Each structure stands twice: as structure tokens, then as C-alpha cells.
Amino acid sequence: MRHPLEELVQEVEEDIGHRIVLRSVRPPEREFRGRIVSRGGYLLLEYHDETAGYFWDHDIIRELLALVREGYRDFVLYD
């Protein structure tokens, strides 16, 4: 059984026709939330993961995926 977030990523991949790669990052800027980076053949979605093991980052991932569906590429999300 897949996690609902995995299913959402697959849906967005099918909608946009590109693979999506998720990567957690811990940037020095506290106001950084996430980033969409267009790479050759796939989109990299980096999200601020402050505390490993907690799921607060799922909202950020959902927000980034919604932006991807709207057509955003090479975009940075701040608080």
C-alpha cells in the first residue's frame, strides 16, 4: 500500500509528463520552504526538512506539487 503523498506525486507526474524527484534539504535560511528546479527530463522538488521523522514537510510538498500543476518551474518558495 502506497502513501497518499506518493500517489499524489505519481498523479502530477502523469499530468505534466515529467518525472518528479523529491529531496529534503536543510538550508541556512530559516524562511526557505521549498524549491522547484527544472532539470533535463525531470523536476527536482526540494523542501525544507527541519526535523527528520516528522511529517510537517508534507504540506510543503503538496504546495510545491500544486505549483507544478499550475505550470511553475524554477521557483523558490519562502515564508
Please tell me the predicted confidence (pLDDT) of residue 52.
61
**5-60 per-position pLDDT tens digit:** 899 999 999 999 999 999 999 888 889 999 999 998 999 999 988 766 556 678 89
List C-alpha distances in Å: 47 to 24, 31, 65.
Answer: 5, 12, 11
Read off the pTM. 0.88
**CATH number of this structure's domain 4-78:** 3.30.160
